[in-house]
Chain A
Amino acid sequence: MNELLSIGNLLYGGAAGLIVIGLFAVVARRHLIRVLLGVAVIEAGVNLMLVAAGFRPGAAAPIFDPQAISGPMVDPIPQALVLTAIVIGVAVLALGLTLAIRIHRQYGTLDTVALTRIVNAPAGSPESRAMMQRGGGGHES
Chain B
Amino acid sequence: MNPEILIALPLLAAFLLPAARRIDASVGIWWGPLVVLANLVIAAMAWWKVQLIGPQSIALGGFAAPLGIELRADHLGLSAAVLLNLAVLLLWPRETPDKARVSTILLVLTGAGCGLAMSADLFNLYVFFELVAVATYGLAAANGKGEALIASLRYLILGALGSALALLGIALVYAKTGTLNLTELGGMSEALSGPAGIGALVLMVVGFGVKAELFPLNNWVPEVYAHTESRVSALMAGIISKLGILVLLRLIAEVFGGSPGLEFLLWVGVLGVVTGELAAYGAKDMRRVLAYSSIGQMGLVAVALALGGETGFIAALILMLNHLLVKPALFLIADAWPGSLKALAGKGRARPLGAVLFVLLALSLIGVPPLPGFWGKYLLLDAIFTNVTEGAGLLVGLILAATVVEAAYFFRIAARLFGSGEAAEESKIPGLPAVAALFVIAFLALSVQTGRVGDYLKEVVHGLQPQELRMAQSDFPDPAASVNGKGERL
Structural contact, B147 and A53, CB atoms closer than 8 A = no
Structural contact, B130 and A53, CB atoms closer than 8 A = no
Structural contact, A46 and B167, CB atoms closer than 8 A = yes
Residues of chain B in range 263-283 having any CB-CB distance to chain A below 8 Å:
none
Question: With A50-B167, A56-B486 as given contacts, are A78 and B174 in contact (CB-CB < 8 Å)?
Answer: yes
Question: With A73-B484, A118-B147, A119-B147 as given contacts, are A50 and B174 in contact (CB-CB < 8 Å)?
Answer: yes
Give the contacting residue for A119; candidates B133, B164, B227; CB below 8 A.
B227
Check: A96 CB closer than 8 A to any chain B CB. Answer: yes
Contact with B along A108-120 (1 / 0, CB 8 A): 0000100110111
Nearest B residue to A100 by beta-carbon distance? B153
Residues of chain A in range 100-141 having any CB-CB distance to chain B below 8 Å:
100, 102-103, 106-107, 112, 115-116, 118-120, 122-124, 128, 131-132, 135, 139
Nearest A residue to B126 by beta-carbon distance? A85
Nearest A residue to B222 by beta-carbon distance? A120
Structural contact, B154 and A77, CB atoms closer than 8 A = no
Question: Among B48-56, B155-163, B450-458, which stretch is in contact with chain A?
Answer: B155-163
Question: With A75-B486, A95-B137, A135-B146 as given contacts, are A50 and B153 in contact (CB-CB < 8 Å)?
Answer: no
Question: With A46-B164, A84-B127 as given contacts, are A39 and B339 in contact (CB-CB < 8 Å)?
Answer: no
Nearest A residue to B220 by beta-carbon distance? A119
Nearest A residue to B140 by beta-carbon distance? A99
What residues of chain A lie closer than 8 Å to B160, measured between beta carbons?
A: 39, 43, 89, 92-93, 96
Structural contact, A124 and B141, CB atoms closer than 8 A = no
Cβ of B11 to closest chain A Cβ, rounded Å:
14
Check: B223 CB closer than 8 A to any chain A CB. Answer: yes
Residues of chain A in range 55-83 having any CB-CB distance to chain B below 8 Å:
56, 72-73, 75, 77-78, 81
What residues of chain B lie closer than 8 Å to A128, measured between beta carbons?
A: 147
Structural contact, A88 and B130, CB atoms closer than 8 A = yes
Give the contacting residue for A53; candidates B149, B285, B484, B489; CB below 8 A.
B489
Check: B168 CB closer than 8 A to any chain A CB. Answer: yes
What residues of chain B lie closer than 8 Å to A73, measured between beta carbons?
A: 484
Structural contact, A115 and B150, CB atoms closer than 8 A = yes
A99 to B464, CA, bound (A): 39
Residues of chain A in range 21-57 having any CB-CB distance to chain B below 8 Å:
26, 32, 35-36, 39, 42-43, 46, 49-50, 52-53, 56
Give the contacting residue for B171; candidates A53, A92, A132; CB below 8 A.
A53
What residues of chain A lie closer than 8 Å to B126, measured between beta carbons?
A: 85
Chain B contact residues: helix, strand, loop or mixed:
helix
Question: With A42-B161, A123-B340 as given contacts, are A103 and B483 in contact (CB-CB < 8 Å)?
Answer: no
Structural contact, B149 and A99, CB atoms closer than 8 A = yes
What residues of chain A lie closer than 8 Å to B226, measured between beta carbons?
A: 119
Check: A10 CB closer than 8 A to any chain B CB. Answer: no
Number of B residues, CB within 8 Å of A: 43
Structural contact, B284 and A118, CB atoms closer than 8 A = no
What residues of chain A lie closer than 8 Å to B338, measured between beta carbons?
A: 123
Residues of chain B in range 161-211 having any CB-CB distance to chain A below 8 Å:
161, 163-164, 167-168, 171, 174-175, 178, 180
Structural contact, B483 and A77, CB atoms closer than 8 A = yes
A39 to B207, CA, bound (A): 13
A81 to B179, CA, bound (A): 12
What residues of chain A lie closer than 8 Å to B151, measured between beta carbons?
A: 119
Check: B123 CB closer than 8 A to any chain A CB. Answer: yes
Give the contacting residue for A92; candidates B127, B147, B156; CB below 8 A.
B156
Question: With A96-B156, A103-B153 as given contacts, are A122 and B340 in contact (CB-CB < 8 Å)?
Answer: yes
Structural contact, A43 and B127, CB atoms closer than 8 A = no
Cβ of B141 to closest chain A Cβ, rounded Å:
6
Nearest B residue to A42 by beta-carbon distance? B164
A134 to B483, CA, bound (A): 59
Structural contact, A95 and B134, CB atoms closer than 8 A = yes
What residues of chain A lie closer than 8 Å to B153, measured between beta carbons?
A: 32, 96, 99-100, 103
Nearest B residue to A59 by beta-carbon distance? B484
A139 to B141, CA, bound (A): 15
Nearest A residue to B141 by beta-carbon distance? A99
Cβ of A81 to closest chain B Cβ, rounded Å:
5
Q: Which 6 A-B pairs have the closest CB atoms?
A: A53-B175, A99-B153, A135-B146, A50-B171, A39-B160, A106-B146
In the assembled complex, 25 residue pairs joining A and B whose CB atoms fall closer than 8 Å, in A order, are A32-B153, A32-B157, A36-B157, A42-B161, A43-B160, A50-B171, A50-B174, A53-B171, A56-B484, A75-B483, A75-B486, A77-B180, A81-B123, A88-B130, A92-B137, A99-B152, A99-B156, A107-B150, A112-B154, A119-B147, A119-B150, A119-B226, A122-B340, A131-B146, A135-B146
Listed in ascending order, the chain A residues whose CB lies under 8 Å from chain B are: 19, 26, 32, 35-36, 39, 42-43, 46, 49-50, 52-53, 56, 72-73, 75, 77-78, 81, 84-85, 88-89, 91-93, 95-96, 99-100, 102-103, 106-107, 112, 115-116, 118-120, 122-124, 128, 131-132, 135, 139
